[in-house]
Amino acid sequence: MNKKLITLLAIIFFFIGGFSAKILCSSNVSVIATDVEVTLNNMTLNNPIKQVLDEKIKQIQEIRVSEEAERKRIEEIRLMEEKELEEKRLAVERRFEEERLEKEKALAELQKDAKIAYLTFDDGPSNIVTPKILDILAEYDIKATFFVLGKMIDVNPNILKRIYDEGHSIGNHSYSHTYSHVYKDLDNFFEELNLADTAMKRVLGDDFETRLLRLPGGSHSPYKEKFAKAAEESGYKIYDWNALNGDAEGIDLDKDILINRFKSTVKGQKELIVLMHDTDTKISTSEALPEIIEYLISKGYVFKKLEQ
């Protein structure tokens, strides 16, 4: 483009130079001026270089108009696609939200009528009975809660580790379970809890923490009220029970006695916290456990572990 323009200008200057010579040699200035005007007009009308330039300029303008139209078309398509994608995304989100609400509603309806059993075991871990109970729970794919003693952890740390590794809940049940020491005063009481907590951390790591607590003998006693209150104020969540198998009511009780005792305490309750024991003297508890579980299943109970 620049080379053609320079050529055009050179030609114009050439003609202008010729016209200047005419003016100097002629006495009729008006005739010369007329000749110049006619010549320039002829140049404008007939100059092939200018025609080429005009045509190129016209083509460039047409190309620019076409490109701008194409750009607008592409932008419109992009905006339309973005709008469609956003509408699809919102539709998917609405569908998921509707499904979530429907599931929550259905779950709430089920839970409203659900019957839940929390199996709990006190005074372990023991070397003989606790593993038998863990085997049975694994067979039924049930998670339970073990309220452990610090002194038993010191004897059977590997059993505590197994309880933890298999996903059961672990609660504090004091260190010694010796009433005269545990309930002597609040200092002794918290010393017992702290010793048990320390025993758990030695096995499960310093990051382990439980706020589940079952007082030795339970909390339903007037003289234990201050201990229960102090524990709750310290952040513990206390769990007693509303059903049991009676394995603490005698020595070497037959499993059928335990099963019948348990059934007598269920009484159609929708939510059960079942008290049992897993010391090595409670072999009949492990023997009765499968039938207790089967009974609860037949009555429509589902099994859960206690949560913090």
Q: Using one digit for the tens of pLDDT, what is the confidence trace for 262-307?
A: 999 999 899 999 999 999 999 999 999 999 999 999 999 999 999 9
254 and 284 in contact (C-beta within 8 Å)? yes
Tens-digit pLDDT profile for residues 156-181: 999 999 999 999 999 999 999 999 99
Please state the rounded mean pLDDT for residues 200-221.
Answer: 98
Phi, psi of 268 (to 5 degrees): 70, 15
With b meaning 16 or more CB within 10 Å and e meaning fewer, what string describes 26-60?
eeeeeebeeebeeeeeeeeeebeebeeeeeeeeee
Active site includes 165?
no
Q: Is residue 41 part of a domain?
A: no
Q: Is residue 86 part of a domain?
A: no
Q: What is the DSSP letter of 254?
A: -
With H, G, I as helix, E, B as strand and everything else as coil, classify residue 125.
Answer: coil
Domain interval for residue 206: 116-303
Number of domains in the chain: 1
Q: Is residue 214 part of a domain?
A: yes
154 versus 4: the higher-pLDDT residue is 154
Q: Is residue 31 part of a domain?
A: no
Residue of 122, 123, 247, 278 marked active site = 122
- Taking the CA atoms of residue 248, residue 254, residue 257 and residue 263 in that order, the dihedral angle to the nearest 10 degrees is 80
Q: Is residue 143 part of a domain?
A: yes
122 and 214 in contact (C-beta within 8 Å)? yes
Averaged pLDDT of the chain: 87
CATH number, residue 189: 3.20.20.370
Tens-digit pLDDT profile for residues 31-54: 444 554 555 455 555 577 777 777
What's the Cα-to-Cα distance from 60 to each of 3, 44, 53, 65, 66, rounded to whole Å? 17, 21, 10, 9, 10
Active site includes 181?
no
With b meaning 16 or more CB within 10 Å and e meaning fewer, what string describes 245-269?
bbbbeeeebebebbbebbbebbeee
Residues with Cβ < 8 Å from 77, sequence gap 6 or more?
none
User: What pLDDT, on a 0 to 100 scale, did the predictor assign at position 23?
Assistant: 41
Closest listed residue to residue 274, CA positions, set 299, 47, 82, 95: 299
Q: Is residue 34 part of a domain?
A: no
With H, G, I as helix, E, B as strand and everything else as coil, classify residue 275.
Answer: strand
Tens-digit pLDDT profile for residues 100-125: 888 777 666 656 668 999 999 999 99
Written as one letter, the residue type at 298 is: S
Q: Is residue 229 part of a domain?
A: yes
User: What pLDDT, on a 0 to 100 scale, did the predictor assign at position 27?
Assistant: 45
Alpha helices per DSSP H over the chain = 2-25, 29-46, 48-113, 129-140, 150-155, 157-165, 179-182, 186-204, 225-233, 255-266, 283-298
Assess whether pLDDT exceeds 80 at residue 15: no
Structure tokens at 82: 């973005």
Q: Is residue 218 part of a domain?
A: yes
Tens-digit pLDDT profile for residues 240-250: 999 999 999 99
Residue of 123, 168, 277, 278 marked active site = 277
Assess whether pLDDT exceeds 90 at residue 67: no
User: What pLDDT, on a 0 to 100 scale, did the predictor assign at position 60?
Assistant: 86
